[in-house]
Amino acid sequence: MTLTSAPPSRPPARRSGVARAIRVRSLPGRIRAFAFLVILALAAVFAVSALAVQDARDGLRVIGHDAGPQVVATGDLYFALSDMDAQLAAVLLMGREQNLGSGRARALQVYDQRRSEAHRALLQGSNLARNDPAEQQTARSVLDALGRYEQLAGQALQLDQRQSHAAGPPSKEVGDLYTQATNLMKLDVLPKAYNLTLDNGTTVRRTYESKHSEVLAGRAWVLLTGLVLLVILVGLQVYLAVHFRRLVNPVLALATVASMILIAATVGVLTSEADHLRKAKNDGFDSVLSLSRARAISNNANADETRYLLDPALADTYEQVYLDKSQEILYVPAGNLAAYYKQLDQRVAARSGFMGFLGTEAQHVTLPGQKAALDRTLRGYQGVQHDDSRLRSLATTSGGRHDAIVVRMGTASQHFAAYDQALVRLTAIHQKAFQNAIRDGDDGLSGWNIGLPAAAIVIALLVLAGVRPRLSEFR
Amino acid sequence: MRVGRILGAALALAAAIAGCGTGGGAKSVAGKDTLVVGVSKDQPGLGQRQPDGTFKGFDIDVASYIGAHMEKTPKNVVFKVVQYSEREKAVQTGKVDLVVSSYSITPERKTKIAFAGPYYVAHQDTLVRRTDTAVHNVRDLSGRRLCAVNGSVSWQRVTVERNVPARLVPAATYGDCLTKLTSDSLDAISTDDLILAGFALENNAVRFVNAPISDERYGVGIRQDDVTGCEDVNKAITEMYLDGTAGKLLKKWFGKTDLKLTTTVPQFEGCG
């Protein structure tokens, strides 16, 4: 290396500025230049590390603490709302008969319980949505519509009790009030709650896609800038060894080792953060979302079964939407319900050839206990459909309507509750995987806000401490 | 200088790495310059081709709104007629980006394509000649001649889902069905009330039975892997209801009919 050569491409202006400042032509000047480069590279490592760590933190916050929990809250809201309407339909269908299923009093009790659950979920939902004006507006309009619903439901219940009818469709006035109430629920309230769940699902998906890839890209940048830092550090070491005839500068060597540790640790933490995000999304969140939707649709379909008995004028429609919803939950190719029951049993027994929410779940078994919980859910679902088949064939034979109502309020309602419980347990397995992944992700990042800058400062001080004695030899 | 060369090489490598991080996946319709929308050509009130080659109807207005929401200029939203029986294929092959054509979301169709929306929930009902007073509900179609449009699910809801033994008379479009109904070549058309309402408005010789048998959720057909595009369409539909456009459009196209119109946002199917 000659002392005179300077790259011809370097603009003269810079030489007169920067170059003069660090007096690059002299030996101490070169050492200073090296030290300057080290600090520059270190700053780059620090910057890309901090950015990538921030990306991971943002991902965890949105997925784990914001939109993710919102999915659960809005799912609970949907369930409570749709079960309110299901209980109302059940009470009106039972009429004055006291010994159908768990009875009128119990159904009214559940109705009240769901109502307060709905209010609680709405409150929680709007708390979580405090950063999103559109979601807050939706939460408010759901609350308004729910108020109107409760009023109509109250009127229907009161009138129905006064009129005291046998089990079966209530009087026309009560029926009209119920139709108004259920339409409000079905056309106004429930869609909003369901779309909120979907919106949050979208937020999680998009956040995951961007943050997961940004964390991985950030890791590549850390590796790259880290490599540059190490090369310069080693270069400085060699330069000092050549010019001062010493084999190793121990302080600089320490800085090099510290840098290696920092880079390795950062790459390691980013790798595991990306993995935690992936696990939270793929093993936890995706299933929580689709099973929440399955639960919402199931509960709604179950209520459609009651409405089928309650409102003969719309029985055809209620049967069609029941089939439609059943196929959304578990799809097998079938043009009508009779074919659906048959195909369902065959394909579930074979554990293949079915799609829909439960089909997707069956194709992605990764967690301990998931298979057993899934099997219970599928068995439960089959049980629900067997009851449905029995109930509809009773309802369409002459004189069988009352028997159909007995089935609906008795075994069908018990079997549905068992299926719902199985579904809830299956969801809980994914929920746990989700929470664990988020917690691991949070834990992995704890301390990095202080650790990262502290490490960078320590390394910078080591570098300066390493070159200072050499520079002082020139004073 | 050696360091300079190393830095230069490092920067080149860094650029390469950064380059790898972007892109990937099939293109979403959201990012396309021109949006090609499959529509129908002979459904009054929904999608109807005019003599000058333009289209008008509720579906057309909805598609335009979605296009505008995706920041396409009106010129860049192109309408293309798609036959009923070819709608899934048109989406799958990319012949059209979206289908907005009184297209009911069904579990069977969902195995082939995805649906954004629904942007409206219609109900299947029946249209008969005004002189035919014996039809009160779908079961009365037993033995009657029912219009069967190829690729439509409506007649299947009668003969397969409800097991009503109607005699099927094939037709290419619902426009055809109406011609055949009024000329006595068939006895009933059973399909979505929005379609039938348009016919009943234009034609005095037919009668609406008013006995709904289904929820027909009108979706926006989109490629199955385009989750982003599907979500964007849902955003547009949500916005369309929030800002009151949906209500105005429904009133504009169906306000004169007796249909009870729903002006709150439907429950979406969900993307992906």
pLDDT, tens digit, 9 for 90 and up, residues A344-400: 999 999 988 999 999 999 999 999 999 999 999 999 999 999 999 999 999 999 888
Q: Would strands B206-208 and B188-192 be described as parallel, antiparallel, or unpaired? A: unpaired
CB atoms within 10 A of CB B100: 33
Q: Would strands B55-56 and B47-49 be described as parallel, antiparallel, or unpaired? A: antiparallel
Burial class of residue B101, CB neighbours in 10 A (0-12, 13-18, 19+): buried
* B81-108: average pLDDT: 93
Q: Do A191 and B264 touch (CB under 8 A)?
A: yes
* B247-268: average pLDDT: 91
Place of tokens 């099927």: B168
The DSSP letter of residue B105 is -
d(CA A192, CA B117): 13
The DSSP letter of residue B210 is -
pLDDT score of A475: 63
DSSP-derived 3-state class of residue A465 = helix
Residue A97 to chain B, least CA–CA distance (Å): 30
B161 CB near a chain A CB, below 8 Å?
yes
pLDDT score of A166: 85
B84 pLDDT tier (thresholds 50, 70, 90):
confident
Comparing A9-23, A100-114, A219-233, A427-441, which segment has the lowest mean pLDDT?
Answer: A9-23
**With 60 as the cut, is the pLDDT of residue A46 above it?**
yes
Q: Do A224 and B4 touch (CB under 8 A)?
A: no
Q: Do A228 and B268 touch (CB under 8 A)?
A: no
Q: Which residues of B touch A225 (CB under 8 A)?
A: 14
* A141-156: average pLDDT: 93
B21 CB near a chain A CB, below 8 Å?
yes
* A216-228: average pLDDT: 97
d(CA A35, CA B3): 12
Query: Which of A85-89, A377-381, B50-54 shows the highest mean pLDDT?
Result: A377-381
Residue A153 to chain B, least CA–CA distance (Å): 20
- Could you give the residue ranges of the DSSP H alpha helices within B25-161? 58-69, 87-92, 107-110, 154-156
Contact A383, A415 (CB under 8 A): yes
Place of tokens 């979301």: B105
Comparing A128-142, A299-313, A356-370, A439-453, which segment has the lowest mean pLDDT?
Answer: A128-142
Structure tokens at A4: 């005179």
Q: Which helix (H) or strand (E) holds A466?
A: helix A448-472
* A396-413: average pLDDT: 90
Place of tokens 């000649």: B129
d(CA A187, CA A141): 13
* B205-233: average pLDDT: 93
Question: Ramachandran region of residue B39, left (φ > 0), alpha (ψ -120 to 50) or beta?
Answer: beta
d(CA A61, CA A59): 5
**With 50 as the cut, is the pLDDT of residue B122 above it?**
yes
The β-bridge partners of A331 are A355
Identify the CA nearest to A223 among candidates B63, B30, B14. B14
**With 90 as the cut, is the pLDDT of residue B90 above it?**
yes
Supply angle C-alpha B120, B123, B125, rounded to 5.
Answer: 145
Q: Do B107 and A331 touch (CB under 8 A)?
A: yes
Residue A418 to chain B, least CA–CA distance (Å): 26
* A212-218: average pLDDT: 97
B197 pLDDT tier (thresholds 50, 70, 90):
confident
Strand ranges (E), chain B: 35-39, 42-43, 47-49, 55-56, 77-81, 98-99, 114-129, 145-149, 167-171, 188-192, 206-208, 214-222
Closest Cβ–Cβ partner in A227, A316, A320 for B10: A227
d(CA A323, CA A331): 10
Strand ranges (E), A358-415: none
Q: Which residues of A touch B20 (CB under 8 A)?
A: 220
**With 90 as the cut, is the pLDDT of residue A135 above it?**
no
Q: Do B6 and A213 touch (CB under 8 A)?
A: no
A2 pLDDT tier (thresholds 50, 70, 90):
very low
* A239-251: average pLDDT: 86
Q: What percent of chain B has pLDDT over 90?
A: 67
- Phi, psi angle pair for B207, to nearest 5°: -135, 140
Start-to-end C-alpha separation, chain B: 54
B17 pLDDT tier (thresholds 50, 70, 90):
very low
The β-bridge partners of B35 are B77
pLDDT score of A12: 46
Residue A30 to chain B, least CA–CA distance (Å): 12
Identify the CA nearest to B108 among candidates A25, A102, A17, A343. A343
* A211-234: average pLDDT: 96
* A60-89: average pLDDT: 91
Q: Do B234 and A221 touch (CB under 8 A)?
A: no
Residue A34 to chain B, least CA–CA distance (Å): 9
Instruction: Give 3-state DSSP helix, strand, coil % of chain B, rounded to 5.
Output: 40, 25, 35
B173 CB near a chain A CB, below 8 Å?
no
- Could you give the residue ranges of the DSSP H alpha helices within A311-369? 315-329, 337-350, 356-362
The gap from C-alpha A79 to its chain's centroid, in whole angstroms, comes to 18
**With 60 as the cut, is the pLDDT of residue A14 above it?**
no
The DSSP letter of residue B124 is E
B2 pLDDT tier (thresholds 50, 70, 90):
very low
d(CA A31, CA A26): 9
Long-range pairs for B131-139 at CB < 8 Å and ≥24 separation?
Answer: B132/B187, B132/B188, B132/B207, B135/B188, B135/B209, B136/B209, B136/B211, B137/A316, B137/B209, B137/B211, B137/B213, B138/A316, B138/B162, B138/B164, B138/B190, B138/B211, B138/B213, B139/B164
* A115-144: average pLDDT: 81
Amino acid residing at A50: A
Place of tokens 């510290």: A258
Identify the CA nearest to B3 among candidates A452, A297, A233. A233
Supply angle C-alpha A101, A107, A113, rounded to 5.
Answer: 145
The β-bridge partners of A226 are none
**With 50 as the cut, is the pLDDT of residue A261 above it?**
yes
Contact A380, A422 (CB under 8 A): yes
Q: Do B266 and A227 touch (CB under 8 A)?
A: no
Amino acid residing at B193: D
d(CA A313, CA A310): 9
pLDDT score of A165: 85
CB atoms within 10 A of CB A89: 25
Comparing A134-148, A395-409, B48-62, B106-120, which segment has the lowest mean pLDDT?
Answer: A134-148
B30 pLDDT tier (thresholds 50, 70, 90):
confident
d(CA B147, CA B127): 10
Contact B185, B155 (CB under 8 A): no
d(CA A355, CA A358): 7
Closest Cβ–Cβ partner in A202, A220, A323 for B17: A220
B264 CB near a chain A CB, below 8 Å?
yes
* A223-235: average pLDDT: 96
Q: Which residues of A touch B238 (CB under 8 A)?
A: 195
The DSSP letter of residue A25 is T
Q: Do A195 and B238 touch (CB under 8 A)?
A: yes
Q: Do B106 and A7 touch (CB under 8 A)?
A: no
This complex has an ipTM of: 0.85
Distances in whole angstroms, Cα of residue B174 to Cα of each of A179, B81, B146, B215: 31, 14, 12, 19
Closest Cβ–Cβ partner in A228, A293, A356 for B10: A228
Contact A150, A185 (CB under 8 A): no
